């Protein structure tokens, strides 16, 4: 067998190939850990984005502690706002504690239907509250008791307007205004009501005597008239401490009771009308006698005539004085002339 050179070459090649096979790894080596799995993307203009290693890993969501309210724990407290410029601050709403305005700045008015007249007319009253009123010092002012005394409802209306426009003059007071105590008499132009009864002689105060004198038109019995009954209920419900009843034309102040006297002197200091404890004739069954018997201070203010403007101008300050007068205050000294 010839052992030629070609055979030797083949044998050497085979041995070399076997050795190369034995040195090849069966599993390719893992890529180095530091190398990114994928290269960072490159923007079209050639700028590269930040490599992923520079992005902070997302923080875990804040978990409130058990038992605490679910507040945004991660949000830092807001820094205090800088004060607004003065001009802007003036337009902003005031803080709540500065919205509490003095009581004198608000007058609340409501109209109350307190009854019906003998002929079915409404008996109405205005309730004016100046702030939070002192309900132990309520003043009630009646107009229109006698329908032929034509100035009194107009004075009530002027007083009502004045009180609403001038709250600083009567702080923390409640005023009750009845423009027409006897609306039937006003409509008829008569002193008496629609049944020819004088309301100011119909109250259950000395009425027996009045019943014997027919000229007083006192009615068939005490408090027989719906107007009288409605006023009695009104006094029981609203508890006025002071009453002023408007009439004409005697031009004086006629008081009943100690508080009534104090009221008359408070008023005459402004309107200079003569003060009288006795009008000069008996008034059985009158509102004055009824209030005197029930501890309510009352003054009958008699105007000089039937001009409401004149009567208002003369008595405006006296109304303010009597509304502000505290019950049971000592009467003012009157100048001796
Ligand atoms: Zn009268």
DSSP symbols for 100-168: ---GGG-EEEEEEEEEE-TTS-EEEEEEEEESS--TTSEEEEE--SSTT-TTHHHHHHHHHHHHHH-GG
Tell me how far the alpha carbon of residue 302 lies from the centroid of ligand 1, in angstroms. 8
The alpha carbon torsion through 124, 302, 285, 186 (nearest 10 deg) reads -40
State which CATH number among 1.10.1040.10, 3.40.50.300, 1.10.3720.10, 3.40.630.10 fits the domain covering 107-324. 3.40.630.10
- How many C-beta atoms surround the C-beta of residue 54 within 10 A? 8
Q: Could you read off the pLDDT of 191-230 as tens digits, one per residue?
A: 999 999 999 999 999 887 766 666 789 999 999 999 999 9
User: In tens digits, what is the pLDDT along the chain, a chain of 337 residues?
Assistant: 444 455 444 444 444 444 444 444 444 444 444 444 444 444 444 444 444 444 444 544 544 444 444 444 444 444 555 444 444 444 545 455 445 555 445 899 999 999 999 999 999 999 999 999 999 999 999 999 999 999 999 999 999 999 999 999 999 999 999 999 999 999 999 999 999 999 999 999 988 776 666 678 999 999 999 999 999 999 999 999 999 999 999 999 999 999 999 999 999 999 999 999 988 888 889 999 999 999 999 999 999 999 999 999 999 999 999 999 998 744 444 443 3
pLDDT at 58: 52
Cβ atoms of residues 311 and 245 within 8 Å? no
Work out the end-to-end distance of the chain between its first and last CA atoms, rounded to an integer number of angstroms: 178
Question: What are the tokens at 26?
Answer: 């069966």
In sequence order, the β-bridge partners of residue 123 are 115
Q: Ligand 1 mean position to 305 CA, how many Å?
A: 11
**Inter-residue contact 128 to 177 (CB < 8 Å):** yes
Distance 140 CA to ligand 1 centre (A): 17
Ligand 1 centroid to 248 CA: how many Å? Answer: 6
Strands 242-247 and 122-130: unpaired
Cα(315) to centroid(ligand 1), Å: 17
What are the structural domain ranges in the chain? 107-324
CA angle 55, 57, 61 (to 5 degrees): 140
Helix (H, G, I), strand (E, B) or coil at 8: helix
d(CA 135, ligand 1 centre) in Å: 28
Helical segments of the chain, H only = 5-23, 86-89, 152-165, 183-188, 207-211, 226-238, 257-271, 287-293, 308-324
> Which residues line ion ligand 1, judged by CB < 5 Å?
146, 149, 247
Cα 128 to ligand 1 centroid, rounded to whole Å: 25
Query: How much is the CA Rg of the chain, to the nearest whole Å?
Result: 49
Residue 124: other Cβ atoms inside 10 A: 15
> pTM higher than 0.85, yes or no?
no
Calculate how far, in angstroms, residue 200's C-alpha sits from the geometric centre of ligand 1.
8
CA 269 / ligand 1 centre spacing (Å): 23
Instruction: From residue 51, give the alpha-carbon distance in Å to each of 48, 56, 318, 329.
Output: 8, 11, 93, 93
């Amino acid at each position: 067998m010839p052992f030629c050179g070609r055979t030797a070459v083949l044998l050497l090649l085979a041995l070399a190939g076997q050795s190369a096979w034995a040195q090849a790894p069966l599993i390719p080596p893992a890529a180095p850990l530091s190398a990114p799995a994928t290269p960072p993307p490159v923007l079209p203009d050639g700028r590269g984005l930040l490599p992923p290693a520079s992005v902070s890993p997302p923080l875990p969501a804040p978990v409130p502690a058990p038992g605490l309210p679910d507040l945004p724990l991660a949000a830092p407290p807001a820094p205090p706002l800088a004060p607004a410029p003065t001009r802007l601050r003036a337009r902003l709403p005031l803080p709540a504690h500065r919205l509490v305005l003095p009581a004198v700045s608000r007058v609340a008015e409501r109209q109350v239907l307190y009854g019906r007249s003998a002929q079915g007319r409404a008996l109405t009253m205005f309730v004016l509250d100046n702030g939070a009123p002192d309900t132990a010092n309520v003043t009630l002012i009646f107009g229109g008791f006698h329908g032929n005394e034509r100035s009194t409802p107009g004075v009530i209306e002027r007083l009502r307007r004045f009180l609403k426009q001038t709250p600083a003059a009567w702080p923390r007071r409640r005023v009750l205004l009845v423009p027409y105590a006897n609306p039937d008499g006003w409509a008829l132009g008569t002193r008496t009501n629609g049944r020819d009864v004088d309301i100011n002689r119909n109250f259950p105060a000395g009425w027996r005597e009045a019943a014997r004198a027919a000229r007083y038109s006192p009615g068939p019995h005490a408090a027989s008239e719906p107007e009288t009954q409605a006023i009695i209920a009104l006094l029981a419900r609203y508890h006025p401490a002071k009453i002023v009843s408007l009439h004409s034309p005697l031009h004086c102040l006629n008081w009943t009771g100690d508080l009534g006297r104090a009221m008359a002197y408070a008023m005459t200091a402004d309107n200079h009308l003569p003060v009288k404890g006795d009008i000069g004739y008996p008034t059985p069954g009158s509102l004055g006698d009824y209030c005197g018997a029930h501890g309510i201070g009352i003054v009958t203010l008699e105007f000089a005539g039937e001009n409401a403007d004149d009567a208002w101008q003369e008595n405006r300050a006296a109304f303010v004085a009597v509304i502000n007068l505290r019950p049971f205050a000592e009467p003012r000294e009157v100048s001796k002339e």
